[in-house]
Structure 1
Amino acid sequence: MKYNNILSVTENGITTLTINRPSKLNALNRETIQELHDAFKEADASSKTKVIIVTGSGEKAFVAGADISEFADFSEEEGANLAAKGQALLFNFVANLSTPVIAAINGFALGGGLELAMAAHFRIASENAKMGLPEVSLGVIPGYGGTQRLPQLVGKGRAMEMIMTAGMIDSHQALEYGLVNHVTSAEELLEFTEKIASKIMRNSSVAISSAIRAINANYEDGKNGFEVEIEEFGNCFGTEDFEEGTQAFLQKRKADFPGK
C-alpha cells in the first residue's frame, strides 16, 4: 500500500513505520492518522512482521503534535467526535495490537505525538528528545488518551504537573519518570531499537500476543487482569509454540517457534 505521509519498510521481521511530514515536524493531521491506522493494520496482519517500530523522519521531531489548523474552529460536538474517532482509529488500536510496537522517539514528541508514543507498548528515546502535553496552553486538554496513559506510566502527581504546566521534559527525565525504557544517541536510536526487536523475535509471537492482552486488561474498565491472565495462560497450552518451546527446553536446543 502506498502512503502520502508515511514510509513503511519491512526487513528481517521488523516493519518500520516512519511518519514523513518533516516540513510540519511530522504533525498528525487526519490523513496521517488514517494512514497510520492502515499501515499498522497491514503490518499486524503480515506474517513477515514480528515487531513494529514507529518513528519520525528527520532529526527534529518524532511527532510535534496534532495539526491545529484542522480543528481550530470546531464546535464542542465536533471536538468530542475528533477525540473519539482518533482514539478508536489509531491510539487505542495501536495499544491493543497483537504485534509488539516500539516507539523510537527522535526529537520532539508533543501532544498527539507523545500520545502516539504512549500508545506503543514501550518507548526508546534519543538524547535530544523532548516530551510533553502542551494542550492546556491552547485552552484544551489531551484528547487522544494522554490524560489516561501518562498517569499510568509516570504516576498521577507527575502527570498532573506535566499537563498543568504544559511543559516539556528531556529524555533523561523521561527515563527517570519511567516514561521511556532507554535513552540512546540520535545516531544509535534505530539500531538500538532494532536490537531489542531482535530479542523479542527470538520468543513465541503467540505468547507475546497473549501477554499484551493480559497486561492491557489491568488497565481496562470492567476487566479483571488476573482472570484474563489465567485465561491466556491456559490458551497457550493449546498452541504449537508451547509444544515447540517446551520440547526445545527439554531437549536442550534452541526453539524454532512456528507462530501458531
Structure 2
Amino acid sequence: MNFEKLNVTREGGVLFAEIAAPPMNLLGPELVGDLVALIQQAEADEAIQVLVFKSADPDYFISHVDVTRINEYREQVMKMEGATSLALLFRRISTSRLVTIAQIEGRVRAVGSEFVLACDMRFAARESAIFSQFEPALGLLPGSGGAQHLIRLMGRSRAMEVLLSADDYDAELAEKYGWINRALPAAELSAFVARLAHRIARFPAAGHAVVKERVNAVALASAEEFNRDGDLFSEGVRKREAQGIIQAAMKNGLQTRSGELALTAILGRD
C-alpha cells in the first residue's frame, strides 16, 4: 500500500495508518484520496480486521479541512462507492466491516473531529489531545456528521455547549462528555491501542459484523441526516458572511502552524 499522506504498516490482522500531511495535517484532497484508497484496499483483504489511525505530528491529528480547497474534494470522495460528500464518506467508515480506532494526540478540530467520531472507538493522550467543533464560529453547521454524533454521545445540552462555544476541550473533559472512549497517559496510549486492536483482530469477523450492524442500527444517524448536514454546510460556506469570517481568520493566522495552536482565540478576534 503506497500513499501520499499516510504511512501504513501491517501487523497480522491490524493496519496502522499514520497521518502525515505537513505542515499541520489539514484534510486536503490528497489525504481524502488516500483515505478512500486505504479503506477500499483494506476491505478487499479479508485477513485485515482492524484499522488504527494515528498521527505522525504530535501537535495535530487532523486540524480541520483546508478551507482554500473545499471545492476540490468531490472527485476524490466519489471514488468510494455510494459516497457523494465527505459526510457520506465518513458515514461509510462507520458502516465498514473494518473495526476502526482513532489513536489521538494533538489537535483534532472540525472535520478532524468528525473523522474520529466516524471511527468505532477513540482513545486520546491526556497531555496533548485537544478537541473542537468550531464551525459555528464561522456561522456554519458541521457538515460531516459532527452534530449527529455529538448529540447521540453527549446528549442535547452538552452537544449544544460544544457546538455553540466553538471552544477547545481537553482530553479529560472530552472523556467525561463522551467525545472519546478514554483519555490515557501519552506514554501508555500506543501500547494500549495496539493490545486492543490485536485482541479484536483475533476474534471472528462475523462477530465484528453483527455487532457493528446492530450498534449502528441504534446509534448511527441515517444517510439522509448526514446529507442534510452536508447540504447546510455547503450552503452556509458560500455565504458572504462566512467567507468574510474565514478571510479575517486567515489574516489572523488560520492555517498557519503557529496560529492554529491558539485557533479558538483567532476565531474570537475581529
Report the secondary structure of 2:169's partner residue: strand
Structure 1 unmatched ranges of 5 or more: 223-260
Residue 35 of structure 1 and its aligned partner are, at CA, apart by 1.2
What does residue 110 of structure 1 align with? 109
Q: Give the aligned partner of residue 244 of structure 2.
A: none
Distance in 1 of aligned mates of 2:177 and 2:67: 28
Conserved in 2, the CA contact under 8 Å of 1:8 and 1:18?
yes
184-193 or 33-42, which moves further after superposition? 184-193
Question: How is 1:93-172 mapped onto 2 (pairs within 5 angstroms)?
Answer: 93-127=92-126, 128-172=128-172
The whole-number CA distance in structure 2 between the counterparts of 1:49 and 1:40 is 11
Higher relative contact order (CA 8 A, sep 6+): 2
- Residue 16 of structure 1 and its aligned partner are, at CA, apart by 0.8
Q: What is the match of residue 63 of structure 1?
A: 62
Contact in 1 for aligned 2:148/2:221 (Cα 8 Å): no
- Per-residue deviation, 1:50: 1.7
Q: Share of identical aligned residues, percent? A: 27
Secondary structure of the corresponding residue to residue 9 of structure 1: strand
Q: Is the Cα contact below 8 Å between 1:18 and 1:54 reproduced in 2?
A: yes
Q: Distance in 1 between matches of 2:48 and 2:40?
A: 11
2:85 paired with 1:85: yes
2:101–2:121 contact (8 Å) kept in structure 1: yes
Q: Report the AA paired with residue 216 of structure 1.
A: N
Q: Does the CA-based 8 Å contact 2:20-2:56 persist in structure 1?
A: yes
**Structure 1 counterpart of 2:131, one-letter code:** M
Stretch deviating more after TM superposition (201-210 or 106-115): 201-210
Deviation at 1:143, TM superposition (A): 0.6
Structure 1 consecutive aligned stretches of length 4 or more whose deviation exceeds 6 Å: none
Aligned to 2:29: 30
Give the distance between the partners of 1:130 and 1:180, measured in 2 at CA: 11
Q: 1:169-248 alignment to 2 at 5 Å?
A: 169-218=169-218, 219-221=220-222
Could you list the runs of 5+ residues in structure 2 that have no partner in the other structure?
224-270
CA contact (8 A) 1:108 1:131 kept: yes
Displacement of 1:22: 3.0
Q: Which amino acid aligns with 2:181?
A: N
> Given residue 65 of structure 1, which amino acid in structure 2 is its aligned partner?
H
Give the conservation status (yes or no) of the 8 Å contact 1:14–1:53.
yes
How many residues matched?
213
User: What secondary structure is seen at the aligned counterpart in 1 of 2:53?
Assistant: strand
RMSD: 2.1
| 3-state secondary structure, aligned to 1:7 | strand
Deviations 1:29-61 (A, max 9, x none): 122112101102211221331211011212101
1:187-229 CA-to-partner distances (Å, cap 9, x unmatched) read 332221011112212322111111101110123459xxxxxxx
SS of equivalent residue, structure 2 residue 85? helix
Q: 1:221 to 1:87 in 2, by over 3 A?
A: closer
Tell me, yes or no, if the aligned pair for 1:22 and 1:57 is still in contact at 8 Å. no
Q: Distance in 2 between matches of 1:100 and 1:56?
A: 18
2:44 is the alignment partner of 1:42: no
Q: 1:135 & 1:120 partners in 2: Cα distance?
A: 20
Give the secondary-structure state (helix, strand or coil) at the position aligned to 2:187.
coil
In structure 2, C-alpha distance between the alignment counterparts of 1:153 and 1:9, rounded to whole Å: 31
Larger C-alpha radius of gyration, 1 or 2? 1
What whole-Å deviation, never above 9, does each CA across 1:90-136 have from its counterpart, x for those lacking one? 30111111110011111111011110000000100011100010112
